[in-house]
Structure 1
Amino acid sequence: MSNKNNKIPFSEDNYTHNINRLNERKLDRRGFMKTLAGAAGVFAISSIPWGAVAAKELMGLGEKEYPHKKIADVDELPIGDAVEFKFPGAHDDAILIRLSENKYVAYQNACTHLRCPVYWVKDQGEMICPCHHGKFDVETGSPTAGPPRRPLPEIEIKVKDSAIYAVKVKRYEA
């Protein structure tokens, strides 16, 4: 039997033309760990600017005044009634309630428990989340019953020229 099929067709000292055989195992475990730690460090440092931008945006969220959005005219909203609107964005549901002649309150109307919609029940004088029987105080937005633990985010409003405008979302105070 002949070993013609098992013979390497080139010199055994340089069996691959593009790899320096003496440096093949230059990256050992210690070198690999250094490379891994260095890559993790580069990633961590490169993410700092984005974290700073995000923190700045979150910290200033309560202070940000949005373009004033007209909700309703004063004479269109009877005392005790509510109107739903979008603020600050097109997908942010909110509710405005007229409590007396000159007193209005507005909140984002997503429950702080699981984001279910919150409804104004005029007969009971309560804001209710039907998903888990959560209730909120209409004067403060604070939870009064059910699983919610945080108040509804309040929306600052202004009355100007017989119209009611949403101005900004107030910062949550812990």
Structure 2
Amino acid sequence: MDKNNKIPFQEDNYTHNIERNGERTLDRRGFMKTLVGAAGLFAVSSLPWGAVAAKELMGLSDKGYPKKKIADVSKVAIGDSVNFSFPGEHDSALLIRLSENKYVAYQNACTHLRCPVFWVKEKGEMICPCHHGKFDAQTGEPTVGPPRRPLPEIKVKVENGTIYAVGVKRYEA
């Protein structure tokens, strides 16, 4: 071979560059060890949150809600509705007085795409205008349109002429 075609290392030495200037400090094996270690650390660190979520989903934690005043009975006529927030400040809800002593309340975000749900007194229907969904006011069950799950029900209680929200009914599949 001439000078330009000369091989710069011995042909039988296939590991000539392993230690050259730290260029192989993280090889494939090292990378895989790091990757498996990071995945293991992530899995172990997420276990406590998984236990909390499982406890919540299985209903083992009995969540207490503060009693919140919605309206006075004298201010809500039969067939009327009242918008309020429950359980949090940003959780909008809807109370409907169906008869003399029957009150129902639901979170008013449609279970399809979370659009607001409105009470149409003249038709006696709860309507989601986004995709023409309708819900039964007695049960919160969807009757028309794309929603498949009922609206989350809010438990109400009447005491001394005042209507209170006292809890959220768990959704049961």
Same fold (TM over 0.5): yes
The residue that corresponds to 1:68 in the other structure is 67
The residue that corresponds to 1:83 in the other structure is 82
1:80-129 per-residue CA deviation (whole Å, 9 max, x = no partner) reads 11111000011111010111111100000111111111111111111111
The residue that corresponds to 1:37 in the other structure is 36
Does residue 115 (structure 1) correspond to residue 114 (structure 2)? The answer is yes
Tell me the distance in 2 between the aligned counterparts of 1:127 and 1:65.
28
1:111 is matched by which residue type in structure 2? C
The answer on whether the counterparts of 2:71 and 2:164 sit within 8 Å (CA) in structure 1 is: yes
2:92 is matched by which residue type in structure 1? D
The residue that corresponds to 1:48 in the other structure is 47
* Structure 2 segments unaligned to the other structure (5+ residues): 1-18
Q: Offset of 1:50 from its aligned partner?
A: 2.4
Tell me the distance in 1 between the aligned counterparts of 2:61 and 2:91.
15
1:50-89 per-residue CA deviation (whole Å, 9 max, x = no partner) reads 2323443454499423100000111111111111100001
State the TM-score, normalizing by the size of structure 1.
0.80
Distance verdict in 2 for CA 1:110–1:23, change over 3 Å: closer
After TM superposition, the structure 1 stretch with the greater mean CA deviation from structure 2, 86-95 or 46-55, is 46-55
Q: Percent identity?
A: 77
Distance verdict in 2 for CA 1:63–1:107, change over 3 Å: farther
The alignment partner of 2:69 has SS state of strand
The residue that corresponds to 1:155 in the other structure is 154
The residue that corresponds to 1:96 in the other structure is 95
The answer on whether the counterparts of 1:63 and 1:171 sit within 8 Å (CA) in structure 2 is: no
Alignment RMSD (CA, Å) = 2.3
The residue that corresponds to 1:125 in the other structure is 124
1:15-36 per-residue CA deviation (whole Å, 9 max, x = no partner) reads xxxxx97987465322321222
State the TM-score, normalizing by the size of structure 2.
0.81
* Structure 1 segments unaligned to the other structure (5+ residues): 1-19
Q: Which has the higher contact order (CA 8 A, sep 6+)?
A: 1
The residue that corresponds to 1:171 in the other structure is 170
Q: Offset of 1:168 from its aligned partner?
A: 0.8
The residue that corresponds to 1:143 in the other structure is 142
- Give the aligned length: 155
After TM superposition, the structure 1 stretch with the greater mean CA deviation from structure 2, 56-65 or 162-171, is 56-65
Distance verdict in 2 for CA 1:33–1:54, change over 3 Å: same
The answer on whether the counterparts of 2:134 and 2:142 sit within 8 Å (CA) in structure 1 is: yes
The answer on whether the counterparts of 2:55 and 2:61 sit within 8 Å (CA) in structure 1 is: no
The alignment partner of 1:52 has SS state of helix
Tell me the distance in 2 between the aligned counterparts of 1:62 and 1:171.
12
The answer on whether the counterparts of 1:141 and 1:151 sit within 8 Å (CA) in structure 2 is: yes
